[in-house]
Amino acid sequence: MSVSLETTYLGLKLSSPLIPSASPLSKSLDTVKVLEEMGAGAIVLYSLFEEDIEKETSSLEQSLTVGAESFAEALSYVPDVPTLRIGPDYYLDHLMRVKQSVGIPVIASLNAQNPGQWIKFAKLIEEAGADGLELNLYSIPTIASLSSQELEKKYLEVIKACRQAVKIPIAVKLSPFFTNFFSFSSLVEQTEVNGLVLFNRFFQPDIDLENMNVEPRITLSTENELLLRITWIGILFNRLKLDLSATGGVLTATDALKAILSGATTVQLCSALLYHGVEYLKTIRNGMVEWMEKKGYYSVSSIRGLLSQKNCPDPSSYERAQYVYALSVYPTPSLSGLEKKERG
């Protein structure tokens, strides 16, 4: 019996649970085609950022109005900037080209801050033919007066507005930084979206001592980051009626299998493909098939959630009791020869 990696995510039928996540990889049509050939079940396009849209629109407005004060009739020949839809056009055109080039589902990614922008571009993305939409709620609150309750309310309003604006399936990509992540996830579920993507990676600034500058630093994820993902996916599995997608720390077939065993419907890949090349997706896919054949499992659904908190032989493994236990049994490092001599 052959192994089937087929799965259903956000109501979309996929040939594989492996999905290249939002990244520069999707900017090339040729790369997207190769990813499909290597066994990707779907692809998430790079994010459309509100800042990019506003910057492009602002640049256009400036170029159109320079010198207009010298010629009274100049502005009458130019339509109002808001009606030009210049900002997202490049993204929407690329989305349509990708849809025409591959047979796998194409999920757009939207990252905005203004509620009106979320709704506007969600509609445009649906009109362009996206099979699904990933709402990337990425922000770093820096206002002391903004309470966690107010921030969560703002997030939920955005999600609800987008859900009401479009009919295509929606996944919400979240960070883990909530006082009670389970509670907020439950509130997200009530908005009738289709899935959660766990988790966002925050790109944090570094300090350049030589030039005395604060500068951005982008680092690829490591397998250790997967642990936070499988912890929460394992807790949420079968407690929410939402598909769960793991992103961050999936670098090998073993990592992908761990995520699915904890309850993930799909696993998203980025760092592994940037480091090893897009053909590496096939290596991960083949590794999953090989393990499943060896263990006697012949479908992804047969292993999903087997080691979630609900199904784990020791559910406390996901809780505080095991935190205390892990610390108590961690081996104490032996003293070095110098330390022994000094203490002797």
The pLDDT value recorded for residue 79 is 40
> If the chain, 344 residues long, is cut into consecutive pieces of 10 residues, what is the mean pLDDT of each piece?
95 98 95 98 93 52 41 37 53 96 98 84 96 91 90 94 97 94 98 97 86 88 94 97 97 98 98 97 98 97 96 80 63 64 58
Q: What phi and psi, each to the nearest 5 degrees, are found at residue 101?
A: -95, -20
The pLDDT value recorded for residue 49 is 85
CATH 3.20.20.140 is held by the domain 7-309 = no
Partners of residue 135 on adjacent β-strands: 110, 172
Spell out the domain ranges in the chain.
Answer: 7-309
The pLDDT value recorded for residue 313 is 82
The pLDDT value recorded for residue 318 is 81
Whole-number Å distance between alpha carbons of 227 and 21 = 18
For the stretch 164-194, pLDDT in tens is 999 999 999 999 999 999 999 999 999 999 9
Q: Is 243 helix (H, G, I), strand (E, B) or coil?
A: strand
What does pTM read for this prediction? 0.85
The pLDDT value recorded for residue 108 is 98
The pLDDT value recorded for residue 126 is 98
The pLDDT value recorded for residue 80 is 41
| DSSP code per residue over 12-50 | EEES-SEEE-SSGGGG-HHHHHHHHHTT-S-EEEEEEEH
Cβ atoms of 262 and 230 closer than 8 Å: yes
